[in-house]
Chains A and B, each alone.
Chain A
Amino acid sequence: MSIHDPQAPPEVRRDAATESQTDLSTEIRARHRAYRDGRAGGGVPEETGPVRDFAPYRSSLLRHPTKDLRHADPETVELLAPVFGERDIGPLEADLTAAHGGEPIGERIVVAGRVVDGAGRPVRGQLVEVWQANAGGRYVHKRDQHPAPIDPHFTGVGRTLTDDDGWYRFTTIKPGPYPWKNHVNAWRPAHIHFSLFGTDFTQRTVTQMYFPGDPLFALDPIYQSIRDPRARDRLVAVYDHSLTSHEWSTGYRWDIVLSGTSRTWSEPEDGDE
């Protein structure tokens, strides 16, 4: 679908818009200020995830539900999760640098962490799926038009099961940032997409892991669709020298809590996040 196609949806036609980063950043700041003021004034609950209605992310305009979510007590099936086993995935699928006929270009990294539920209990033997751009910021996906090179030795897809203590561990290449068509000169911070299953279906989560100190954070409407700064921080991995291997790869640690987005919590305000 062309951006010049008059039949194209508005979010596609907006590709041709002249909205600048300054315009977008102004919108983002306004939404964040409203939340901050609401929190300061009391009465506005802490947000633990993104807001669904976040206009700076233009693709959300016609795709976010306008009605409130309806509370439903989870049914039996929703309190259980699908079960995956070692027969579902291959042993090499946690190493994104292997099995593609050669070493991919880029900064070799290990990303590891624990998946726990809201009570801190490990989520055991559960499926973790990842996908990402290559070191040049290019996805294998056929719709990715970014004119950066495809790496013949990298598809950017991995899967694994958490171990009995909830640990996952991937070996991969640090993805590059990439441009997208939200507005003029829009760039996504480098990220790895994660898909996670918990101990019940209500914990099903798809998210993105980011790298510390990325200068694009403040500019990115997707990352900033999470208005609470502490919640945003929870998506940023930390460099972990204990995961770094001598003359081989650097390491990042990212722990994941699957407790459902609107459940309550009771940890101290000054937790170790």
Chain B
Amino acid sequence: MSDGTPRLRPTPGQTVGPFFGFALPYDRGHELVDPGTPGAVRLHGRVLDGAGRPVPDALLEIWHADPSGVVVRRTGAMLRDGTFTGWGRAATDREGGFWFRTLEPGPTPSASGPRRPAMIAVAVFARGLTDRLFTRAYLPDDGDPERAAALARDPFLAGLEPERRATLLAAREPDGSLRFDVRLQGEGETVFLDLGQGTPGHAPPEAADDLAHGVVRGVAAGPPPDPLDLPDPGGAVLSGVPSPPSRGVPPRA
């Protein structure tokens, strides 16, 4: 925190356990858009354990921008009334499979220069996982030189060994769908992310977190910046991102 505000220790996570199936999945939670929506794509894959066996009791959540790269801030993800919210939830089936119907996100502006390659943020929960995991499904370049360049110059992706980097790239299937498998352990283990502002025991990096001013946190941390990735002197703005609506929920306590 750049303002010196104390950071409280977080409430620890715990496994989602085996019995979330009657609580967290909900009707059409995995359908961010209705069938037949222009631009709709199927994002699908399997969750596999360290022996390559399916994980039938995992839960995935995705969270991503709209096709123009704007992170929408709309309610209604639990209603599925036609509002695109960019958020979805899917439990795996008995073969470890999951699928979402959504819109492909566009590249999102960042505080630090060129647009980032388009990606879908993913949270993974499962019985046997003591805490949730974060990963990302990057969209493939589909032969588009601009998208290929964006992927190539991304400092995070560039810092990964090629075989590990490959675990974060969704594959374009012949039917146009996107395939993204999650391997929790072992051969081809998916890259899981530490999205924190440094790890315990390390000096806290300076990090502004005032989203209202459009400054993205953590630009000073992590791998050395790419020359193309210098902070925008004007302070980049999360274009198209309105403030969250005030909801006026009555106090309950």
Contacts and interface: CB of A to CB of B under 8 A. Distances in A.
Tell me, yes or no, whether A binds B: yes
Interface stretch (B36-44, B46-54, B169-177): B46-54
A82 B63 contact: yes
Interface string A118-156: 111000110001110100000111111000000000011
Interface centre among A124, A140, A195 (most CB of B within 10 A): A195
Contacts of A66: 50, 185-186, 189
B227 interface: no
Interface string B1-37: 1000111111111111111111110000000000000
B12 A235 contact: yes
A183 interface: no
A264 B189 contact: no
A258 interface: yes
Contacts of B63: 77-78, 81-82, 201
Contacts of B202: 45, 264
Contacts of A208: 14-15, 17
B193 A70 contact: yes
B128 A77 contact: no
Interface stretch (A23-31, A98-106, A225-233): A225-233
Nearest to B221: A73
Given A63-B128, A73-B219, A87 B247 contact: no
Interface stretch (A14-22, A50-58, A211-219): A50-58
Contacts of A259: 7-10
Interface of B: 1, 5-24, 49-51, 53, 55, 61, 63-65, 71, 73-79, 85-87, 105, 108-111, 116, 119, 121, 123, 125-134, 136, 156, 159-160, 164, 184-186, 189-202, 204, 209, 211, 216-219, 221-222, 238, 241, 244-253
Given A70-B191, A267-B9, A125 B249 contact: yes
7 contacts: A59-B128, A71-B196, A75-B108, A82-B85, A83-B244, A140-B22, A193-B19
Contacts of A49: 10, 12-13, 131
A77 B8 contact: no
A205 interface: yes
Contacts of A222: 14-15, 17, 130
B19 A139 contact: yes
A88 B79 contact: yes
A60 interface: yes
A72 B8 contact: no
Given A49-B12, A79-B217, A88-B76, A262 B121 contact: no
Contacts of B126: 63
How many residues of A sit at the interface, in one of the four size bands? 35 or more
A69 B124 CA distance: 13
Contacts of A52: 129-131
A43 B8 CA distance: 21
Contact of B75 (A84, A116, A200, A263): A84
Contact of A65 (B185, B219, B245): B185
A78 B86 CA distance: 12
A2 interface: no
Nearest to B75: A85
B130 A131 contact: no
A260 interface: yes
Given A204-B123, A235-B12, A259-B10, A264 B200 contact: yes
B250 A163 contact: yes
A157 B8 contact: no
Contact of A129 (B23, B250, B251, B253): B23
A206 interface: yes
Contact of B185 (A63, A78, A161, A230): A63
A70 B192 contact: yes
A252 interface: no
Nearest to B73: A83
A11 B252 CA distance: 43
